[in-house]
Amino acid sequence: MTVSAAKTPDKTGFAKEQERTVSFASAQDDYAAGRLRQFHNVKVKQAELILFTTQLSVMLDSGVVLSDALDAIAEQSEDSSPVLAGVLADVSEMVKGGSNFSEALTGYPRVFNAMFISMVRASEASGKMVEMLRVLSSYLTFESETRRQIKGALTYPIIMAMMAVAATGTLMFFVLPRFMKIYESRGAALPKLTQILVNFSHILGNLKAMTTIVTVITLVSMAVYYWSKTLTGRRVADFLKIRTPVLGTMFIDMVVTRSMRIMATMVNTGVSLLDAVNVMKGSCENYYFQRLWDAADSKIRNGYQLSESIQLSPDGLLIAPGIIAMLRAGEKSGKLGEVSDKISLFYEKKLEASIKNVMTLIEPVMIIILGAIIGTIAIALLLPVFRISTVIAH
């Protein structure tokens, strides 16, 4: 009986298949990395982000799976907002791959800011994403409306400034040279104020001088910009934000409104107080408010109440005593979320009043400044007119 030799399995085909699988997976990873690099630094309009947040909350509330909702919104946005559609498609792929929604959003910091990501992360922990998205949509709408009001208040002064620049340029480069010729032909000296204006116009017309000035201004601006990114520069800039008259009040009201709204939403949806304080810290870009919530977080971990933690922090004066008293009452009654919501509503109205005050102040200040500049130039140009008869007589 002949025993056939055992056939040795051919591993070549299996190895090739495995190589093809690894190569395909590597290609997928490279494609995903390329897509991430493509959209990492992009920005989208505030209105598009608000619409996305609102649509996502409605779809999730209707029982749609998160990845399916993202795909549907991405497909719907392809024509109106291709950038947002690309971002959402990438986020959806990451969610399908097992990543958390908040983790997927961190790849696009210029689309989703720290507050957005922190609130989504907290909603994942509490299971209240629909409610959190509604609050985010409401707050983003409020911020957009605030910016619109401020831009509207600046429109009139900006138009005035542009008209003033056009009128001043015409006078300096077309009218003033004619008077200079008359005075030079008569050997008379221009009035001192007019001579200063003439010297300034010569500088503007000198290419070498203007190149030097623009270069110096650019270098100084870059130096100030990079200095503002350092800890010292940031502290100085943020100090000016909260201490500038009128504008400082508006900025503080804006931060307190945002913080109390986050506190109300997160406490009412079952998120722990420490997580809420951490999100509040992430939502503030101001150094002193971040230091306030960081100190409050440390005190709370040591057993203090929120109201006590704010009072004991080095920047506790940023929070009005009335707010601290209301928070203390909410802690005693077990209704911290409701009290925080009432505080946010009160400060929202206070913020609207602050914005109106700023808008009321901006217009007259701009008019006074522009009036002073244009008035000085007008006087400098009219002085030769008043003296022209005397010059011609001589």
> 138, 172, 207 — which closes off a domain?
138
Number of domain units in the chain: 2
- The domain that holds 100 is classified in CATH as 1.20.81.30
- pLDDT confidence band for 21 (50 / 70 / 90): very low
Name which of 301-305, 311-315, 363-367 the model is least confident about.
Answer: 363-367
Q: Residues 139-163: pLDDT tens digits?
A: 788 778 877 877 776 777 778 778 7
Residues 259 and 391 in one domain: yes
Q: What range does the domain containing 105 cover?
A: 32-138
Residues 125 and 252 in one domain: no
Q: Residues 190-247: pLDDT tens digits?
A: 778 888 887 887 787 778 888 999 999 999 999 998 998 898 999 999 999 888 887 8
Residue 312 has pLDDT above 50, yes or no: yes
Residue 35 has pLDDT above 60, yes or no: no
> 105, 138, 171 — which closes off a domain?
138
Residues 332 and 385 in one domain: yes
> 107, 138, 169 — which closes off a domain?
138
Residues 159 and 130 in one domain: no
Residue 146 placed within a domain: no
- The predicted structure's pLDDT at residue 29: 47
Residues 123 and 259 in one domain: no
Residue 23 placed within a domain: no
Interatomic CA distance for residues 29 and 48, integer angstroms? 29
Residue 144 placed within a domain: no
Residue 250 placed within a domain: yes
Q: What is the dihedral of CA 269, 270, 273, 278, to 10 degrees?
A: -60
- The predicted structure's pLDDT at residue 25: 40
Interatomic CA distance for residues 243 and 235, integer angstroms? 12
Residues 112 and 208 in one domain: no
Q: How many Cα atoms within 13 Å fall on the side-chain side of residue 74?
A: 16
CA angle (225, 228, 234) in 5-degree steps: 160
* Structure tokens given for 341: 């919501």
Residues 209 and 242 in one domain: yes
Mean pLDDT of 130-136: 84
Residue 24 placed within a domain: no
The better pLDDT of the pair 263, 374 is held by: 263
Average pLDDT, the chain: 80
Mean pLDDT of 302-308: 90
Record the pTM.
0.69
The better pLDDT of the pair 234, 387 is held by: 234
The better pLDDT of the pair 283, 316 is held by: 316
